[in-house]
Structure 1
């Protein structure tokens, strides 16, 4: 069934608020994008609200296709990637999205363009104490790098949208654009502001100022938890998270009840004998 908005004139010619009318669907939507448009068309909400929801929903679509979402003026009218709507039923989708969105922002934001090795999907950073360490990324992140670099050859990788104020340390200023390095605090603010409706799917866009979005810290927590649930060893979790001890790691990597049950079931001797 589909829901279509209906606008009627009340007594005295007063315009009533849109309400919903249920009508049969002729065919299921052929793509994720078509499903989004059908949902927004039948939601009975204002155009301004539909625009906000469309941005959020299509952003996930870009992520699912491992493509960077357009930003700024290029975002208006951009055609999202096309893929079957059945893709959202994939049971591994939550883990995929968590991996795509999870960011080691406190490390990644310290990256400089000259320290990237895209062909190896890794970058070099200077950790606390002055030691050189490597961070690694997956294919989706690697596809974003050309857009972020924008033909620059040196300076901070992630930049603010304005010129660096006077007194900014030289290492935090792009020598080619004059813009400042994006700070973790500002990255956290941007991410939180843009995930409020995603974190509160039942809320109204008009209430967006009173909502709380997701945090980068929560994404880090989720990524480590998913890795632990998938059976990643403790030494590998420590290496990926760069925690100094297992005690600090255990606050993050806590598999849920279902994950523990699945782990036990997969290692049940009786099950192994049945599968021989």
Structure 2
């Protein structure tokens, strides 16, 4: 029997996210993607950059998705979005929308599929990129007198092979320290002895919030999901993590980047049961 239909698009989004049983970091990424499409349905451009996270999306009736011009609005928005973001991000956002639409239709809340005519973008051929650090370079790296946070991050990136963005999006409660892996609700990350030794020290006394934190307290406008409830510090950004890596490794080499810690082939990010899209990168 269909559940009671929510009136507002935003309420439907929250119900979908709750039903998908996502981790905190993944739920934040999916909400941002679905909010982006809300701006499109309102015929308004979505905010860009840091403003995108803080902006409150327009209030829309969920029934707008059944309106005859909903598909045209989404086509226009998709064409614009495809020119302003990379293909992987666009495809993730489109997959997020389709997953939500499928779930809402299954609940009997909407009947049309305004995203039916949208197609994912072709992905560029993967480039070889910089060579991974060799064993001697890794030994030199891990012998550096670097802070615990950096050593834990570097070991986790190297041992898991996960994208930097995925690792930085982890929360403390995403970790299964006993089994050296993330919980099923988070992006799949596995690690070995080095990270297993450092991660318990890094999270000591913390039960929630971002795994990797900045040194300073978070600005007042920082979303709760990106702020530690114990220390008030913010989630470490990719930009800052990359800067620290470059600075700390400069005595060893001038051109090392965090990407060189990731060995082998990239791992795919997970999808939720059935239709949940993957990836944790954000624009």
TM-score between both structures, scaled by the size of structure 2: 0.39
Structure exhibiting the larger radius of gyration computed from Cα positions: 1
**Whose relative contact order is higher, 1 or 2, with alpha carbons under 8 Å and at least 6 apart?**
2
TM-score normalised by structure 1 residue count: 0.40
Write 1 or 2 for the structure with the bigger share of strand. 1
